[in-house]
Amino acid sequence: MKPIIAIVGRPNVGKSTLFNKLVGYRASIVEDTPGVTRDRLYGEGEWLGRKFNVIDTGGIEPVTEDVILRDMRWQAELAIDEADVILFLVDGREGLTSVDIEVAQMLHKAKKPVVLVVNKIENYDDVEMKTFEFYELGLGDPYPVSAEHGMQIGDLLDTILSYIPEEVVEEEDERLKIAIIGRPNVGKSSLTNRLLGEKRVIVSNIPGTTRDAIDSIVKHNDQEYVIIDTAGMRRKKKVYENVEYYSVLRALRAVDRSDVVLMIFDASEGVTEQDKKIVGYAHDAGKGIILVMNKWDLVDKDSKTMQVMIKEVYDELKFLSYAPIVFISALTGQRVHEILDMVVFVSEEHSKRITTGLLNEVIEEAVQMTAPPTDKGKRLNIFYATQVSVKPPTFILFVNEPKLMHFSYLRYLENNLREAFGFNGTSIKLIVRGRD
């Protein structure tokens, strides 16, 4: 499980600037998914081979001091509950403010490491003078950085990661892990309970889960499956229960640990922007995905309703055309029994391996049907392809000149691979390499 670093601080101290710097240090480029609109409240970073998630708790632009304080309380609580390390960001140019003092008091309650970061320190001649007053906050040594100019960020990352224990070698858990995600009230707990129903075997903590998530185990055709219970992660506190942010964060944590994701929608409401964000994360993370339209009992139906809705869903979620859709009612139990079979199927697709011979046959055929793109008289030449990994299936295409490859031609190749091999419920990745 990737550790979570939360950035807390007043408006304009530089939270989003620092956020961008921290997630900018990632080794691999996660491509932007067209059609996914999302604000950047979380991102993945990597430093010296260690991966982490960063969340920017900054919300709306508050105007008055009490709005700021209310927002800050929310930020602090979220960070205290969810993060492994809290970065408390203050503004070295403005100096210490009364809001900073109040936030520091909130953070004193955290039983987590808090790193006090003084931003906007570009000049080291007077660094002591600019950071000295922040000792008053009682959070230890202030850490000077300039987020904008990327100064001291590497040292800061070293410090942050020193607070996080090195990945404990987890006991390998061979069981398939299923995350049930979605907005509040779409029916996640109802479905979880249905799936567990009579089949509930044990409720236990899976090794390696440091947080208090309780996983459940369900037996299906003599196999055990782990259901990651995000509904159970619900807190007593109602402060941010309905805040969109929180459900995205919960989804993020569950998705990270899962193999297959059940994305739950409320069929009576259709696909919302927030749904797109949540499921967009599962897509980016390359998980097996099943789209579950719940509350089907509430929908007025005729013989065409299902087809119409399938089309609507894929129109809204163009990047998920590979994911199967199932219409259920967690309330009545309709079609709930199909779900675990679908999970098994998608999981097999997600870890499917294609032999190099077969793969290259399909690619050659595709190339013969539609020639690769050219630029200034030069044509893209695909020498050969090979599958390098699974979950999701990932292929390297060795070519003469990678920059001759077009997005549309990659799409075309992907479609051909899907026609030949299926890959239902999983994204596939095509990496283009020059062969030198």
Q: How far apart are CA 435 and CA 180, in angstroms?
A: 42
Q: How far apart are CA 11 and CA 275, in angstroms?
A: 27
Q: CB–CB of 120/146 below 8 Å? A: yes
C-alpha distance from residue 355 to each of 381, 387, 388, 396 (Å): 21, 8, 11, 13
Q: How far apart are CA 195 and CA 189, in angstroms?
A: 10
**Binding region for ligand GDP (CB under 6 A) out of 154-162, 187-195, 353-361, 427-435:** 187-195
DSSP 413-431: HHHHHHHHH--TT---EEE
The CB-of-353 to ligand GDP minimum distance in angstroms stands at: 35
- How many residues bind ligand GDP, per CB under 6 A? 32
What is the residue whose two structure tokens read 């670093």? 5
What is the residue whose two structure tokens read 């899907």? 418
**Binding region for ligand GDP (CB under 6 A) out of 66-74, 108-116, 117-125, 237-245:** 117-125
Q: What x/- string results for residues 277 through 316 when contact with ligand GDP is judged by CB under 6 A?
A: -----------------xx-xx------------------
At a CB cut-off of 8 Å and minimum separation 6, what does 357 contact?
A: none
**Binding region for ligand GDP (CB under 6 A) out of 63-71, 115-123, 282-290, 385-393:** 115-123
Residue type for 57, please?
Answer: T
Residues between 190 and 209 that touch ligand GDP (CB under 6 A): 190
User: Which of 157, 385 has the CB closer to ligand GDP?
Assistant: 157
* 3-state SS class at 378: strand
* CA nearest to 261, candidates 294, 228, 237: 228
User: Which of 255, 397 has the CB closer to ligand GDP?
Assistant: 255
Pick the binder of ligand GDP from 147, 260, 279, 382 (CB under 6 A). 147
Q: CB–CB of 335/326 below 8 Å? A: yes
Pick the binder of ligand GDP from 231, 261, 279, 282 (CB under 6 A). 231
Q: What x/- string results for residues 324 through 363 when contact with ligand GDP is judged by CB under 6 A?
A: -----xxx--------------------------------
The CB-of-342 to ligand GDP minimum distance in angstroms stands at: 17
User: Which of 181, 399 has the CB closer to ligand GDP?
Assistant: 181
The CB-of-248 to ligand GDP minimum distance in angstroms stands at: 14
User: Which of 243, 430 has the CB closer to ligand GDP?
Assistant: 243
User: Which of 290, 413 has the CB closer to ligand GDP?
Assistant: 290
The CB-of-348 to ligand GDP minimum distance in angstroms stands at: 27
The CB-of-393 to ligand GDP minimum distance in angstroms stands at: 30
* CA nearest to 237, candidates 42, 41, 73: 73
Residues between 148 and 177 that touch ligand GDP (CB under 6 A): 148-149
Q: CB–CB of 372/201 below 8 Å? A: no
146 is a contact residue toward ligand GDP (CB under 6 A): yes
What is the residue whose two structure tokens read 């549309």? 408
User: Which of 46, 122 has the CB closer to ligand GDP?
Assistant: 122
Neighbours of 315 (CB within 10 A): 11
Q: How far apart are CA 72 and CA 310, in angstroms?
A: 41
What is the residue whose two structure tokens read 């139906």? 301
* Token couple for 383: 């020498």
**Binding region for ligand GDP (CB under 6 A) out of 42-50, 106-114, 142-150, 207-215:** 142-150
* 3-state SS class at 260: strand
Residues between 6 and 35 that touch ligand GDP (CB under 6 A): 9, 11-17
* 3-state SS class at 7: strand
User: Which of 14, 392 has the CB closer to ligand GDP?
Assistant: 14
Burial letters 213-232, b for 16+ CB under 10 A, else e: bebbbbebeeeebbbbbbbb
User: Which of 53, 424 has the CB closer to ligand GDP?
Assistant: 53
35 phi and psi, to 5 degrees? 95, -10
User: Which of 152, 347 has the CB closer to ligand GDP?
Assistant: 152
User: Which of 333, 434 has the CB closer to ligand GDP?
Assistant: 333
Residues at the interface with ligand GDP (CB under 6 A): 9, 11-17, 58, 119-120, 122, 146-149, 182, 184-190, 231, 294-295, 297-298, 329-331
